[in-house]
Amino acid sequence: MAQPKPRRTVARRTDMSVVNPHAAGIDVGAQFHVVAVGPECAEDPVRSFRSFTADLHELARWLRQVKVTTVVMESTGIYWLPVFEILESYGFEVLLVNAREAKSVPGRKSDVNDAQWLQKLHRYGLLRASFRPRQDVATLRSYLRQRERLLEYAASHIQHMQKAMMQMNVQLHHVVQDITGVTGMKIIRAIVAGERDTDVLAQHRDMRCKASIETIREALGGHYQPEHVFELTQAVALYDFYQTQVTQCDQRIEIALKQLQAGIEPVAAPLPAARHRGKQSNDFSFDVRAALYGMLGVDLTQIHGLGPYVALKLIAECGND
């Protein structure tokens, strides 16, 4: 009986292929950054640079000198931002990765520092870059996020106004829907200006206010102590200050949208009618719908659930592609 032929074994290569041969890794820190390149690129493949701007430019020149084309770094706080922007201005492909992804890759040796480990992972294409929009969209995103922070600060002073009035037993917030509306702010500014006559204060009622003049008059009969009026005065001043800063942000946002619209052919079709005509609180000081329509050629607010602010937020966070 014939013996079966032995099965031939085929040797398989287990070496990983290099995806990014000219890669560098940066361990970002608050005061200095550790940079690692491949051992074939430089005699001293690991160097440290201070976080000063001049040193960041020196870092970029050194990477260019050793023929690096792509750089990876972890998103450590906000310390990565100036490094990222300066390296990008020098023409490097810069990848920002989540620190959890780098830590989840097994096989790291204890004698390899963070920069070397990032460089090695990026060299073999084992890291995935986090999304970061292009610079003009990132500029719009910064302005919009700053506006949101300013509105949060302003909201805290609305609470301070309400607290000061409650200490004087001025129950304005019980008779108007929003104390920062037309009726509420007219009455508050009159109180700050020294008016105490409830008949005079109630005359500031806007015709759209649901509460009657009699109800408002009764709610304004407070115990006006000077220390509480002083607290209300400062809260109003701070609220007004942040509203001014929000208006300045709106101006920058409008300019950023015009820059994104540059080079785009004007839309021939007119802007469709708005689905919702009511004015919302904390609305922009310019026509966001028209600006987005001129840039995109479509009106995103026609989609159910998308108002002008949400549409602008999507563009700022994800880009206008």
The answer to whether residues 67 and 36 touch, using CB atoms and an 8 Å cutoff, is: no
Provide CB contacts within 8 A for 136, sequence distance 6+. 256, 259, 260
Say whether pLDDT at 270 is over 80. yes
- The larger pLDDT score, comparing residue 160 to residue 264, is at 160
Nearest to 33 by CA among 69, 67, 77, 66: 77
Say whether pLDDT at 48 is over 90. yes
Give the span between the Cα atoms of 253 and 144, in whole angstroms: 7
Q: What percent of the chain has pLDDT over 70?
A: 91
pLDDT of 5:
60
SS3 (DSSP) at 228: helix
CA gyration radius, the chain: 30
**Domain spans in the chain, listed from the N-terminal domain onward:** 23-132, 137-245, 257-318
**What CATH homologous superfamily does 23-132 map to?**
Ribonuclease H-like superfamily/Ribonuclease H (3.30.420.10)
pLDDT of 118:
92
Mean pLDDT for the stretch of residues 113-121: 91
What is the pLDDT confidence band of residue 2, given thresholds at 50, 70 and 90?
low
pLDDT of 112:
59
Angle at 77 between CA 19 and CA 26, to 5 degrees: 35
pLDDT digits (tens, 9 = 90+) for 242-266: 999 999 999 999 999 999 888 788 8
Mean pLDDT for the stretch of residues 43-64: 96
The answer to whether residues 157 and 256 touch, using CB atoms and an 8 Å cutoff, is: no
